[in-house]
Structure 1
Amino acid sequence: MFIYAMFQQYFPYELRGHAHKYTQKLVTYFYPYIQITFHELTGEKLKRSDAYFAIQNYLADHTTATAKRLKADVVKGSKSLVLTMDDHEQVSDTFAGVTLVWSKESSKQKHSYSGKDKVYKLTFNRKHRDLVTGTYLKHVVDEGNAISQQHRQRKLYANGSKKSYTGSSTASWSHIVFKHPASFDTLAIDPARKREIMDDLLAFSKSEEYYARIGKAWKRGYLLYGPPGTGKTTMIAAIANFLSYDIYDLELTAVKDNSDLRKLLIEISSKAVVVIEDIDCSLEITGQRKKKKKESEEEKEGEDGNGDEEVESEDETESSSKVTLSGLLNIIDGIWSASGGERVIIFTTNHVEKLDEALIRKGRMDKHIELSYCDFEGFKVLAKNYLSIETHPLFEVVRGLLEKTKVSPADVAESLMQKAVEEDADICLNRLIRDLESKSAKEGEQSKEA
């Protein structure tokens, strides 16, 4: 302190800057540590830094056990409390045998509207510079983003339209919190098929580098088809829960034209399941509209009276949505499909034979999954879910009836559901047997009449 005071008083002011510069160089030469600072607010508009929050998530998960002072907070979009380092706290982390030190403090720069922003500082020995800048920081950001994905509240989006400041309508997404409890454990399908689908989804979610290497957009298409009540919607919810993805429920009839369809696609985040349910019904009003209108006009030419009124109604139908089949194909597999990554696109239909081959070919819909009537393996899953039993003397009776009766898993589940507190497994299974026998008798009568 004495030397510094003498320096300030007697050393020429004009030379102090040069002296400070060379002093810093001297200290740097002997001081073996490097420090990297990550600000919470960055850029000209002081947006919140993605890197800062990835580091926050990483440290909250990896180093809170060693921190002496923690701060608990409810982070927007998270489904639980988040514990983070308090200000002026310091923790250490070990990576590849190297110890690194993280500290948190307030920035010296003050912003008029947000107060002081926070900073994380990473300190490490300079001999580990290549390890830290080349591997460690990428590891921290990737881990932090993965942790954020696990703890965040997932959302269910639906498309609609909103008024812009000019008064025109524009396509947009709205959302609610997604809380569907479905999982692959509760799906009434063969366990081997479940495992196959889960393995396929897991491989896709870890294949970013592979898709980049082969030059394809990081997406995968699933076509779910089968009779009503066979679990297509439940399968979608199970896929979203398994991957921890958001769901975007795209209603084509609510999309004005191809331009709005592209806008909606661009706004879809990564790690998303994009769903178009009953795609055969959607295509009835899009790809086939012109053909239907032409046939309708030909029929009207031979009729008198209400022809003009009918044409006007058809025109109104056409103007409500002008999405075309080619426009839909372009967002699925065209150049616009690369506008975002890690997306699962799912079509559902009750009538796969009605779909255009171009829509469901391999490369667009990579995996075709048939969800058919309930078999014995599916029944056992439902019995475990609804009655908490894995075996019962009546199972063989049910097996025989399922082999000769076409019944959906939804119908089986309805029969197994306990309607009152006093109902047990025997009552529910006997009700299912009666329902199956009744359905089998009806099917027999119908086949005789045919």
Structure 2
Amino acid sequence: MTAAMMGEVAAQVASAIGGLMFAYTMFRNYFPHELVDPLKPYFQKLLNFFYPYIHITFSEYDGDGFERSAAYAAIQRYLNANSASQARRLKANVVHDTDSDVVLTMAESEEVTDDFNGVRLWWSSYKISPNRQSISFYPREDDRREFGLTFHRRHRDAVTKLYLKHVLDEGKAIAVKERRRKLYTNIKSDGGWYGRRLWSHVLFEHPATFDSLAMDPYKKQELIDDLINFSKSKDYYAKIGKAWKRGYLLYGPPGTGKSTMIAAMANLLNYDVYDLELTSVKDNTELRKLLIDTAGKSVVVIEDIDCSLDLTGQRESKKEEDEDKDKDKDGKNKDVEKIKDSVKKMEKEKPSQVTLSGLLNFIDGLWSACGKERIIVFTTNHVEKLDPALIRRGRMDKHIELSYCTFKGFKVLAKNYLDMESHELFATVRQQLEETKMTPADVAENLMPKAAGEDKETCLKRLITALEDAKEEARLKAEKEKEEKKEKEEKNSDKDDKNNENGVESDQSNVANGVEENGVI
């Protein structure tokens, strides 16, 4: 058969398919569904007989849309690396600190071809938008993105057994090569009209490392060993039947380096950071969705957990309510207790409905196993305010106290800020730090040169002056508190004396009344 004859046959086949499609569309539009639906399988068989191509769809989200498809992400990277030279419409993303400032990716409704061992394949990218013309009371869904792969059916085995594995492996290799860590934050829900995407992100470029962290060298090395051991313990966690995750509680006064330590942990392990703002989470269901939508090799952070939500006092509130009921049974102070209870409820009303139970399940429940190689970090300035169930071992596996600056911490800061390992003023600084409480953040601020050309000794002297001022301020504060305590004790003593006098007068009056009632003169 000549090329002209083959072209003529192909044209006839295409015309026949087009006619069938048109006829079926007209039939479907003008005849009732009861008549159309039974004919669908037969029409599909007829179409498959003339149409020799197979089409595979890869959706961005698997199942009900909780988790982003790993296959879709790998295909996206593979096509981005191979589509810039073919696609007519491209999307440009500006990326910093890379060999190329602009990264080109294939736009929606675009098609590119690929060749694999002599097999020609067609990739297409498209976006399906939901119908938003009608009014609906259900949450609005985002646009659904998909990749489509088309190939001739005679290449089915080559594509399904070899080509798809090749694409996924290449996509994963590109991801490892081009991996750039990100800092995520959860998107605030507006009460019902929210989309599928739960996190937004920026590039994570925090420079903190454990070398620059002002803490005891032994504790620092212990933490580093613990983190590295966790990252290499996939098989061990599977063996003992636990989810591959680890919790860290960082506590201490403000300015002691809790946030800096989180950045150092992420930089050490090359993990992404998910900064979870609990006050922006609508309820426990959304909290679970956020957890599922986090990737592996990540640090999930909830800073100032004692301030994020009123989770710490829930059990105490329940206890107070039980005590209030007991008081009501005795008929004592009913109205006063009701007013107090109303005030407490008004003060504790929050827009978020996340509960302590939901947070515990997020950390250590069934949903916590949806994912792997994940670190969860809580920070707090007041560890005593936290519910014991929230920070017990198994949830927060390691408790790390970050306290005021020690001389060892100062030496790390002096090395970082002034490039100094010893100086005659170090002895004075050491004595002052032993007598005065100052956070590493305040020490670092005083060591930092304030003007160009400022010498190192001036910076040390400024720190010593700041320590002396802090010491004097602490002394004055202690004296003031002592005086206030003394005045309070004197007032209480005067009040007790007055009550005793009133008691004596009352007893005398009772005796006199008793004598008079009995007729004794």
Instruction: Assess same fold via TM > 0.5.
Output: yes
Letter in 2 for 1:143: A
* Distance (whole Å) between structure 2 residues aligned to residue 326 and residue 45 of structure 1: 28
Post-superposition Cα deviations, 1:343-389, rounded to whole Å, max 9, x if no partner, equal 21111122334434332222211222121211122212222333343
Counterpart for residue 412 of structure 1: 443
Does structure 2 retain, via aligned residues, the 8 Å contact 1:158–1:173? yes
Counterpart for residue 74 of structure 2: 51
Matched, 1:175 2:175: no
In the superposition, relative to structure 1, how do residues 342 and 382 fare at CA in structure 2: closer, same or farther (>3 Å)?
A: same
Does structure 2 retain, via aligned residues, the 8 Å contact 1:89–1:103? no
Does structure 2 retain, via aligned residues, the 8 Å contact 1:247–1:275? yes
* Distance (whole Å) between structure 1 residues aligned to residue 385 and residue 233 of structure 2: 33
Matched, 1:246 2:262: no
* TM-score (ref. length: structure 1): 0.67
Does structure 1 retain, via aligned residues, the 8 Å contact 2:186–2:199? yes
Residue 337 (structure 1) shift: 0.8
Task: Could you tell me which runs of 5 or more consecutive residues in structure 1 were left unpaired when the two chains were aligned.
Answer: 10-38, 61-67, 91-100, 122-128
Counterpart for residue 371 of structure 1: 402
1:157 to 172, 185, 188: 185
Counterpart for residue 227 of structure 2: 201
* Distance (whole Å) between structure 1 residues aligned to residue 7 and residue 189 of structure 2: 67
Residue 160 (structure 1) shift: 3.2
* Distance (whole Å) between structure 2 residues aligned to residue 209 and residue 203 of structure 1: 12
Does structure 2 retain, via aligned residues, the 8 Å contact 1:172–1:264? no
Sequence identity percentage:
44
* Distance (whole Å) between structure 2 residues aligned to residue 171 and residue 88 of structure 1: 30
Count of aligned pairs between the two proteins: 394
Root-mean-square deviation (CA, aligned residues, Å) is: 5.2
Residue 414 (structure 1) shift: 2.1
SS in 1 for 2:393: coil
Residue 299 (structure 1) shift: 8.3
Q: Which has the higher strand share?
A: 1
Post-superposition Cα deviations, 1:147-174, rounded to whole Å, max 9, x if no partner, equal 34x235x133146321325xxx999845
Matched, 1:145 2:175: yes
Does structure 1 retain, via aligned residues, the 8 Å contact 2:183–2:274? yes
Matched, 1:385 2:416: yes
Matched, 1:327 2:358: yes
Does structure 1 retain, via aligned residues, the 8 Å contact 2:288–2:367? yes
Matched, 1:397 2:428: yes
Does structure 1 retain, via aligned residues, the 8 Å contact 2:74–2:172? no
* Distance (whole Å) between structure 2 residues aligned to residue 248 and residue 104 of structure 1: 46
In the superposition, relative to structure 1, how do residues 55 and 202 fare at CA in structure 2: closer, same or farther (>3 Å)?
A: farther
2:390 to 340, 359, 362: 359
SS in 2 for 1:420: coil
Residue 318 (structure 1) shift: 5.0
* Distance (whole Å) between structure 1 residues aligned to residue 149 and residue 171 of structure 2: 15
Q: Highest CA radius of gyration, 1 or 2?
A: 2
Counterpart for residue 469 of structure 2: 438
* Distance (whole Å) between structure 2 residues aligned to residue 387 and residue 410 of structure 1: 15
SS in 1 for 2:190: strand
Counterpart for residue 284 of structure 1: 312
In the superposition, relative to structure 1, how do residues 265 and 296 fare at CA in structure 2: closer, same or farther (>3 Å)?
A: farther
* Distance (whole Å) between structure 2 residues aligned to residue 446 and residue 319 of structure 1: 36
In the superposition, relative to structure 1, how do residues 5 and 277 fare at CA in structure 2: closer, same or farther (>3 Å)?
A: closer
Counterpart for residue 242 of structure 2: 216
Letter in 1 for 2:202: V
Q: Which moved more, 1:375-384 or 1:131-140?
A: 131-140
Matches within 5 A, 1:98-117: 107=122
Post-superposition Cα deviations, 1:94-114, rounded to whole Å, max 9, x if no partner, equal xxxxxxx8999872879799x
Post-superposition Cα deviations, 1:65-115, rounded to whole Å, max 9, x if no partner, equal xxx99x9x8765954444899x8899xxxxxxxxxx8999872879799xx
Does structure 2 retain, via aligned residues, the 8 Å contact 1:220–1:345? yes
Residue 290 (structure 1) shift: 2.5
